[in-house]
Structure 1
Amino acid sequence: MRIIKIKTNQIIVCLVFSVITVQAFSQSPTQLLDAVDKNLSADSRIVESTMVVHGKRNNRTMTSKSYTEGTAKSFSEYLSPARDKGTKMLKLEKELWLYSPSTDRTILISGHMLRQSVMGSDLSYEDVMDDRKLTETYNAELSGEEEVDGRPCWVLSLKAKVDDVAYDAQKIWIDRERLVPLRQELYAKSGQMLKRILLSDVRQIDGRWFPMQMNYKDVLKEGDGTDYIITKIEFNKPIPAYIFSKAGLKQ
C-alpha cells in the first residue's frame, strides 16, 4: 500500500505541475509581450532620474528630468552637474534635437550620429529615440524558462518586423508573476550581442509593475556600464504643449 501511495503522490505532483505549465503557456508569446507593453507604456510619463556612468578611473553622476507623450514626443533636461546643467534633448516624431548651453547651439542628431553615446554613457541616441511598444516592432517566440535573481522568468526571442529599429533581435527575460523584463540582450543583424540591460527594483505604481533601476552595458566597451535610476515617476499626467517646442530649448 505504501508503494501505491508514493506513486499516487508522484502522479498528483505531476498533474499539478502540468496544470500550472498549461496555464502559463495559455498566454502566447505575443500576449506576454503585450502585457509587458501595458506595464511599461503610458500616454505620458514625467520622470526624475539619476544616471551614473561607470568609467575606468571614476564615475560620473548626472541628474535629469524628462517628459514623454506617447511615442512621438519627449523632452529631457540635465540638472546636474554644473558642466552639464541646461543640456536639453527634444524628440519630435523622427527628429532629435540637442541643445548645448556651452555653445548656445541647437543641432539635429541624425544618421550615424544617432549611434553615438549620450553624455558618455552606454546609451546611444538611438536608444533614447525609440519608445515604441515591443509588439509594434518585434515578433516573439517562447524559447524557454530561466531564473533571474531568483525569480522565475519566461524567455522570449524577439525578431524585428520593421526596418527602422536599432537592434535586429532581442532576447528578453520576463518575470512570470509581474510581467516586466528583468534582463534584455540586444543583437545586431550579424548575431553579435551589442548591449545588455539588467532591470531591478521593480515596484507597483498606479496599478502597474515598473523597474526603477536599469544597468545598460555596451558589451563592446570596457567598464561596468551605466546605471539609470528613476527617483520619481508619474504616469498619464497632462504635459503643457510648450514643453515639446523647439523654441523652448534655449529658454
Structure 2
Amino acid sequence: MLKKMLMCAGLFLSPLFCLSAAAQDADKIVRDSFNYMRGKSSVSTVVMTIRRPDWKREMSIRGWTRGEKESLFFITSPPRDKGNGTLKKGREMWTYNPKINRVIKLPPSMMSQAWMGSDFSNNDLAKSDSLIYDYVHTLEGTETHEGKTVWVIRSMPEPDAPVIWGMQRLKIREDYVLLMQAFYDEDLEPVKILTGSDIQMMSGRMFPRIMKMHKADAPEDEYTVLEYRELEFKDHLPDNLFTLSALRTSRR
C-alpha cells in the first residue's frame, strides 16, 4: 500500500500509471464483490414485496445460482403464480409458465423488462454478470459505513456493449458487501436505485438481508423489496439443475 502511495505521488511513475492502477483496482473490487455476493453456488428463499401507493403484493421465490452465469428460480407462492420459473445461462434467458406448460426464450430486449410487475428486471433478479464484462470501473472515492471503508465506483459501459444503462454507480463495503447500485440512462439521469440493508451473518458471511429497488421518479411508497429468509452458499450444484428440463419442473 505504501509503495502504491509513493508511486501515485509521482516519485516513481507517471500520473497515467496511477490512473490505470486505480481502474484495475476498481475492476477487482467489482468482480470480488459480485463473486462474494453470489458465491460459487447458492440456494436461497426470498420474499418479494411489491409496494404501490394503493396496493401490495407478495411472492415467495426459491432460487439457485452457480458461478457467474447460471441462475434458476421459481415462484412458490401465491398459488396463482406458483411454478412460474426463469432460467439464465450466460446471456440467454428462458421463462416457464405452468398454466400453458410452455418454455419461452426471452429476446435480448426483454432482459431489462420488469419481472412480474416488480421494480426488478429479469437481469436484476438473475444477478447478471453484465456489470463485470460490459463496463469500465473507476474508483471515485471512499465513505464510511458502520466503521468500515466503502468504495464509491463509477461504471461506464464499454463501447458497443449490449447494455441499456449509460452509467452505474456502486457503493461496495471493504468486506465486499454491496450497499448501493444506482442505474442511469444515456443522459446520465438516475433511473432506479438498489440498496442493501439489515446486514447480518448468513451462511458464514455478512450479507444484506434486505434488498430494495426504488425508481428515481417514483413516490416513496412505491418500491420493491427482496427479503432473504434463507440463504446457503455451496461449493457445487449439479449440472442438471440449470437446464430447460429442470425449468419445466416445478420445485418447492
Q: TM-score scaled by structure 1?
A: 0.78
- SS for the counterpart of 2:237 is coil
Distance 1:71 1:37, change over 3 A: closer
Query: How many matched pairs?
Result: 229
> Partners in 2 of 1:90 and 1:38 — Cα distance?
19
Amino acid at match of 1:235: F
**Aligned residues of 2:35 and 2:68 also touching (Cα < 8 A):** no
2:229 paired with 1:231: yes
- SS for the counterpart of 1:83 is coil
Aligned to 1:141: 138
Deviates more, 1:52-61 or 1:141-150: 141-150
Residues 103-137 of structure 1: per-residue CA shift (max 9 Å, x gap): 32222211432232111100112323453274433
- SS for the counterpart of 1:115 is coil
Distance 1:148 1:53, change over 3 A: farther
- Say which of 109, 114, 118 aligns to 2:115: 118
Residues 202-226 of structure 1: per-residue CA shift (max 9 Å, x gap): 2234553322210011234454310
Aligned to 2:29: 32
Aligned to 1:188: 185
- Say which of 152, 159, 175 aligns to 2:173: 175
**Aligned residues of 1:41 and 1:133 also touching (Cα < 8 A):** no
- SS for the counterpart of 1:117 is coil
* Percent of residue pairs bearing the same amino acid type: 25
- Say which of 137, 150, 155 aligns to 1:153: 150
> Partners in 2 of 1:68 and 1:38 — Cα distance?
11
- Say which of 40, 44, 48 aligns to 2:45: 48
Runs of 5+ consecutive residues of structure 2 not aligned to the other structure: 9-20
Distance 1:165 1:207, change over 3 A: farther
Runs of 5+ consecutive residues of structure 1 not aligned to the other structure: 1-18
2:74 paired with 1:74: no
- Say which of 88, 95, 98 aligns to 2:95: 98
Distance 1:186 1:179, change over 3 A: same
Question: What is the RMSD of the two structures over their aligned residues, measured on CA atoms?
Answer: 2.9
- Say which of 243, 246, 249 aligns to 1:248: 246
Report how far residue 155 of structure 1 moved.
1.6
Distance 1:145 1:248, change over 3 A: closer
Residues 145-169 of structure 1: per-residue CA shift (max 9 Å, x gap): 3456886533221212360234231
> Partners in 2 of 1:164 and 1:129 — Cα distance?
17
- Say which of 121, 129, 132 aligns to 1:132: 129
Distance 1:80 1:32, change over 3 A: same
Residues 181-220 of structure 1: per-residue CA shift (max 9 Å, x gap): 2122111222121110110122234553322210011234
